[in-house]
Amino acid sequence: MNLKNYLFLLVLLLAAGARAQVPSGNAYPKREFRAAWIQAVNGQFRGVPTEKLKQTLVGQLNSLQGAGINAIIFQVRPEADALYASQYEPWSRFLTGTQGQIPSPMWDPMQFMIEECHKRNMEFHAWINPYRVKTSLKNQLAPTHIYHEHPEWFVTYGDQIYFDPALPESREHICKIVSDIVSRYDVDAIHMDDYFYPYPIKGVDFPDNASFARYGGGFNNKADWRRGNVNILIKKLHETIRGIKPWVKFGISPFGIYRNQKTDPLGSNTNGLQNYDDLYADVLLWAREGWIDYNIPQIYWEIGHKAADYATLVDWWAKHSENRPLFIGQAVMNTVQHADPKNPSINQLPRKMALQRSYQTIGGSCQWYAAAVVENAGKYRDALVQEYHKYPALIPVFDFMDDKAPDKVRKMKKVWTEDGYILFWTAPKADTEMDKAVQYVVYRFGSKEKVNLDDPSRIVAITRNPFYKLPYETGKTKYRYVVTALDRIHNESKSVSKKVKL
C-alpha cells in the first residue's frame, strides 16, 4: 500500500471514530437527498464552444453520479435572462458572452441538462434568481430585455438593478417566467437561493419610499411590509407551480441564519446577517404555511466559527424544520480547509456528516459547489464514494404532495439474449400522471437470504428502463432479483421477485 492510499484509509478510519462521538443516525440511509449546485454566474460556461461545454457538463454529471449525487440544482436565470429558450427573456451573457446573443450552433442548456440528468436517474431542479437584473451597472442589457419596456418596475441599489419587490407587475412577471419553465420543461423542481431583497449596503437604504407610500397601507413599518411583499411572491409561485404540475417541487436555499438570539430569543446563538431582518425572507413562515416544499439553508461555515458555528446552526434548523423537508447546504471548500476541532489531523467532513445524519428532521444535503466535488478537493469526492455515499439512495418521499405508491410492475421475466440474461418487466398501469411509474429499483439477494428492501447495499440499479442486464457468472449460483416502481414523488410500489441462476 502506497503512502497516499494509507493516509486515505487512515482518514476513513478516523471518520468512523468521529461519527461515533455524536448521536448516530443510519450510516447508510436508503433515502437521502444528495444534491449539488451547478452555477452559471462564476463564468464557467461563458463563451465556451457548444460541444466543449456539453462535454464538460456530461463529464461533471458522470463524476457526480459516481459520487452518489441524485439531484442537480442548475442555474438557469441569473439576471432576468435565460440559459434556455425563453420567449420572454433574453439569452444569458453567462452562456454566450453577450446578453441576447443566440447560442451558435443553437442548443438549449436546460433541456440538455434535464435529459442528461434523467438518463442518470438524477432529479433536475431549475434554479432561478427572482429579482436581480444586473450584477453590475457596467453590464449591458439586451434590447429585448423587459427593463427597456418597463423601466418603472426596477430600482437601482448600489452597483446593481432589481425588480421592485413591492410591485404587483414584478410578481406577475416572475410568476409568468416560472409558469413558462414548468409548462414547457420536465423539471423536477423550481429552486431559489438566498437573494430576495438584496444584501444590505451599510448606510444605504433600499430605494422603495415611493412604493411604500403607494402600497404600504396597513403596515406600521417598512420591514414588515417588505417581508409581506416577498411572502406574496413565494405564495403565488407555489400556487403557480402546483396549478400546472402538482408533482413539481418548489424549494428555497436561504442564507444560513434565520435570526440571531440577540434579536429574537427563538433565534440561533449566532451573530451574523439575518434572513428575516436583512433580506426580508421569513423562511420559517413559508415552511409553516406550506408555500415551499423543501428548505436547504446554506450553512457554509465551519464547526467552531465564532459568529456562525456550523454545529449550532445545524441543530437550530433541525429543530425548526416546520414540518417540511430540510436538507443542509454544505460548503465543500470550507469543510476540507478546516480541521476537526477534536481531531486536528483530519478535516471536518466526518463530523459534519455525522451531525447531519444524527437528526431525524434532516433528510440530506446539497454540495456547494459541484465542481469542487468533481475536482475532489481535499479528497472530498473520494470520501463520498468510499464512505458517505457508498450505496445508492432514493430521494426522500414528499408525502404531503402525494403518498400513493404506483402499482407493482407486471410480467417480469428473464430472457437470454446474445448479450446475456436480461430481466424485463412491464410498467404498471396508471390512471394519472401522479400514479405513473417513472423509475424502477432493482435489488439483488442470495436465494436463501431474507428480502430486506430497507437495505441500500442490495440496490444494484435505479433505472428509467423497464429492463436490467444481469451480470452472468458461472450459471450455478442462484440469486433473487426484486423490482419495485417509483412515481414522480418517489413513492415505492410493492415488490415483484424472480429467481435466476447466474
pLDDT tens by residue, the chain, 502 residues: 443 443 344 334 333 333 322 333 578 999 999 999 999 999 999 999 999 999 999 999 999 999 999 999 999 999 999 999 999 999 999 999 999 999 999 999 999 999 999 999 999 999 999 999 999 999 999 999 999 999 999 999 999 999 999 999 999 999 999 999 999 999 999 999 999 999 999 999 999 999 999 999 999 999 999 999 999 999 999 999 999 999 999 999 999 999 999 999 999 999 999 999 999 999 999 999 999 999 999 999 999 999 999 999 999 999 999 999 999 999 999 999 999 999 999 999 999 999 999 999 999 999 999 999 999 999 999 999 999 999 999 999 999 999 999 999 999 999 988 888 899 999 999 999 999 999 999 999 998 999 999 999 999 999 999 999 999 877 789 999 999 999 999 999 999 999 988 8
Of 351, 386, 421, which one is at a domain's C-terminal end?
Answer: 386
Same domain, 381 and 413: no
CB 335 within 8 A of CB 380: yes
Q: Are residues 367 and 416 part of one domain?
A: no
What is the distance in angstroms between the CA of the first residue and the CA of the last residue of the chain? 34
Domain count within the chain: 2
Q: Look at residue 24 and tell me if it is in a domain.
A: no
CA dist list (Å): 213 to 210, 220, 316: 5, 12, 37
Co-location of 154 and 39 in the same domain: yes
* 234 and 348, same domain (yes or no): yes
Q: Where are the alpha helices (DSSP H) in 185-295?
A: 209-215, 222-244, 283-289
Integer Cα distance of 493 and 155 in angstroms: 51
Query: Same structural domain for residues 187 and 83?
Result: yes
**Same domain assignment for residues 357 and 491:** no
Count of helices and strands (H, E) across the chain: 14, 20
Domain assignment present for 394: no
Domain annotation covers residue 15? no
Residues 380 and 417 in one domain: no
Structural domain contains residue 323: yes
- Say yes or no: 168 and 107 in one domain: yes
Residue 121 structural domain: 31-386
Q: Is residue 7 part of a domain?
A: no
Q: Does one domain contain both 190 and 87?
A: yes
Whole-number pLDDT of residue 416: 87
